[in-house]
Structures are given as structure tokens and as C-alpha cells.
Amino acid sequence: MKLPRNTIRRLSHYLRCLDILDLKGVQLVKSRELACMCRVSDSLVRRDLSYFGDFGKKGVGYNLPELRERILQIMGLDKVRKVVLCGVGNIGTALLRYPFKERNFEIMAAFDTDPKKIGMVINGIRVYPAEKTSELTSELGVEIGIIAVPPEAAQKTADLLVEGGIEGILSFALIPIEPKKDVVIQYVEIATELEILSFEIEERKRRR
Amino acid sequence: MKLPRNTIRRLSHYLRCLDILDLKGVQLVKSRELACMCRVSDSLVRRDLSYFGDFGKKGVGYNLPELRERILQIMGLDKVRKVVLCGVGNIGTALLRYPFKERNFEIMAAFDTDPKKIGMVINGIRVYPAEKTSELTSELGVEIGIIAVPPEAAQKTADLLVEGGIEGILSFALIPIEPKKDVVIQYVEIATELEILSFEIEERKRRR
């Protein structure tokens, strides 16, 4: 069964709401509460969760720790995933400080081509020369590579990561990349999203 | 005519390729070159560009400066757009240093609730108290608000921006927001994309 992409995205949102409710000491959560926090309909929450079997009790709601644990399992977030980061610019540096560990992602190493950055340790993570990418990725058994290099360097970086045996890539580079092997790719294109926003604003003005 | 979202996204990619070619002094660009750089088909590039009239000459290609200027116009990137940034954490700080100015986005002010951050100047941009958001946004005639606050604070921040007369929101907060008025929203959910990647990797392992 192929799950809708948006269901997966919402599972991630539900998880975040469950975190917030958990901190408040909530033990039982109703689909209505999750729906309200995530700004979707009640029935959508129930449908999303029903893909994974029978979680809740009618009228009582879901046991929060159980539901949380189950979603973590489904998303593969219940075990440590090793990550490397390529490109230690502004965004790369912010990512080294990002609390990915809360979801079991462990950044093992960072890579850059700038000799001034090589050897630096940011938030406990050491920066290695970019040419070590494949070797270290493979040695450390890394599953995910984050690409935060300029667009011109994105493809080469992806090739090095794939050579190192990576399973998935999260790319912040502002251009599509083509992996040499069949790996999963997700994009986060900050400038592109802002440019699309600009287009939409302009379109609305044209229509007014 | 409603343009496909992915065409808009690709226009942004084309623009980035044209920037790279422009730096190399290229004057005439063929759809094949753009296609190759953006890793899409030749015919897709031609179709995307044909939405906006007759750009190129058959067999000769597109005049690069003209095509670049035209895409900038279509995307509304040919004029300065004023932006404010809400939330000066790791990502927010990186965004203050991000070269948005290259595309005519000007960050006018930043906002935070942390007294230690208020008054700081990062990359020439001053951090103001969060409660000034609506007032300053309105006074400065800001069009776009970037939200980089924790999920719990996202909705309130959006409300303040909308009150200040914003046209569009780019949200890095990890939860959907519901604007009180009809404004354009784009999301950049870094942790969510990484979690979706984790799910996809896990799914592949289950299928093996």
C-alpha cells in the first residue's frame, strides 16, 4: 500500500503536536484536538491514522504515549540515523546547531572545501575536507547526506555521497540533482520558496 | 490562466541557471542547455517558457539577458520587496545572513521575544521586540513576513504579521498556520522534510 505523501507530512505534524501535549502531561488525546492544532479536519486525522491500524478507542481518544511511539516507528524515527552535512555556510552552520537529535538524527561529520573551515568543530561536529566525503560516509555507515553547498557544487556533492553508500539526500541546493544510484531525495529550497511567494503576490496584484 | 505550480518552481531554477551562465559571459542559451542544467527535458523547458509568449528564435536559442529579465518580471523579482523576519534563532540568524538581496528582497527588521537578542544588529538588520511586529510591519510597508519561531508561537506571529498588512508569509515553523486574512503562505519545514526522508528510507527497507 502506497501512502499519500501528504499523510506522511501530516504524521510529522501530529508528532509535533503530540510532543507539545506530552510536555503538558496530556495522556489521552482526541482526534479533534490534533485536528485543531494542525488546522485540518477531524475526519482527516482519523483517516490518516487509520492507515496504520486501530489506534484509538471511540469517544475516549488515543493513548498519547502509544500513539506517539507508533508514529515514531512508522516514520523510522525510533532508531538513530547517521547523517553527514556537506557545506558549512550560513545555512549549513545553522543546521549543525539544529536539534535534529530530538528525532534521533545524529550528524557525524561535516564537509567543506574552504581550508579555513576544515578542522573547525561546531556543536561537537568536526568539519572535514570535502574530498573525504565518500570515504568517511562509507566508514561511518552514514544513511543520510544533507547538501548545503552552492548550486554549482550540488551534483558533484551528491555523487560523492552516493559513492559513500548513502540511502537518502536532503538537499538545500537551489537546483535539482540527479543521483547516480536510486536514492531518496528531498529538497528544501529556501530562496525558491521565497521567489514562488513573490510570484503569487504579484499574480494577486495583477488580478486586482 | 492558472500556471502549474511546478512551472513557477522551474522558472526559479531556470533563473538560477541563467545567473550561472551569465557569469560565464554566455549571451545566447538553448533550451537544451537549460534542460540539461536543471535536469528536465528539453520540451518541458520550451513548454514552460511558451506560457509567457514567444521568447526564443528557432535553432538560435534565447537571448540570455532578455530571457532573464522577462523571468524576473514574471516572478515579480524586478522590484524591491520589503521583508521582516520573526524569530532570531539558529535558522533565523542564518536567514538574516542569506543573500536574499540578490533577488531584490530586503529584510527591513527582525523580531524576537528574547531580551538578550533585542537591539542586536545582524548583517545590518536590527532585532526589535516581538510585540512591535504589527506596528513596524505596517509603518515600513512590508509585504512579506518570514516566520522562524517555535511551532507554539507560529500562529500568534502570523496573526501579528497579518494585522500589520502583510501580503505573504514564508513559514519555517513546523506546523500549519491559518491566516486571519487571505494572504499567500509558503512553508519551508526543514525537520519535516528530514522526517519524510526517514520514512521513505524505512519504507524501502521494509520492501526489500
10-residue mean pLDDT series, chain B (208 residues): 86 94 92 92 92 72 92 95 97 95 96 98 98 98 97 94 97 91 93 95 89
State how far the alpha carbon of A163 is from the alpha carbons of A113, A142, A159, A179, B135, in Å: 18, 12, 6, 10, 52
Decide if B105 and A75 are in contact by the 8 Å CB cutoff.
no
Decide if A75 and B199 are in contact by the 8 Å CB cutoff.
yes
A5 part of contact set with chain B, CB < 8 Å? yes
Q: Are A153 and A161 in contact (CB under 8 A)?
A: no
Decide if A39 and B8 are in contact by the 8 Å CB cutoff.
no
> Residue B53: what pLDDT?
73
Residue A71 pLDDT greater than 90, yes or no? yes
Q: With bands split at pLDDT 50, 70 and 90, how would you rate the model's confidence at A51? A: confident
Decide if B174 and A13 are in contact by the 8 Å CB cutoff.
yes
Closest Cβ opposite residue B184 in set A81, A103, A197: A197
> Residue B2: what pLDDT?
74
Q: Which of A68, A85, A199, A208 to mutate to test the interface with B (most CBs of B within 10 A)?
A: A199
The more confidently predicted of residues A142 and B206 is: A142
Q: Which of A149, A194, A200, A207 to mutate to test the interface with B (most CBs of B within 10 A)?
A: A194
Q: With bands split at pLDDT 50, 70 and 90, how would you rate the model's confidence at A55? A: low
pTM, two decimals, is 0.91
The more confidently predicted of residues B205 and A56 is: B205
Q: How many CB pairs under 8 A join A and B?
A: 185
DSSP state string for A42-111: HHHHHHHHHTT---SBTTTBEEHHHHHHHHHHHTT-SS-EEEEEE--SHHHHHHHTS-GGGGTEEEEEEE
Interface of A with B in 153-172 (CB under 8 A): 167-170
Nearest residue of chain A to residue B187 (CA atoms) = A193
CA of B189 to nearest chain A CA: how many angstroms apart? 8
Exposed / middle / buried, residue B118 (Cβ in 10 Å: 0-12, 13-18, 19+): middle
Interface of A with B in 111-130 (CB under 8 A): none
CA of B135 to nearest chain A CA: how many angstroms apart? 21
In terms of average pLDDT, the best of A55-59, A92-96, B59-63 is A92-96
If you average pLDDT over residues A183-196, what whole number do you get?
95
**ipTM of the complex, rounded to two decimals:** 0.94
CA–CA distance, B90 with B82 (Å, rounded to integer): 22
Sheet of A125-129, strand order: A121-122, A125-129, A105-112, A81-86, A144-147, A168-171, A184-187
> Residue A208: what pLDDT?
82
Q: With bands split at pLDDT 50, 70 and 90, how would you rate the model's confidence at A5? A: confident
Decide if B202 and A38 are in contact by the 8 Å CB cutoff.
no
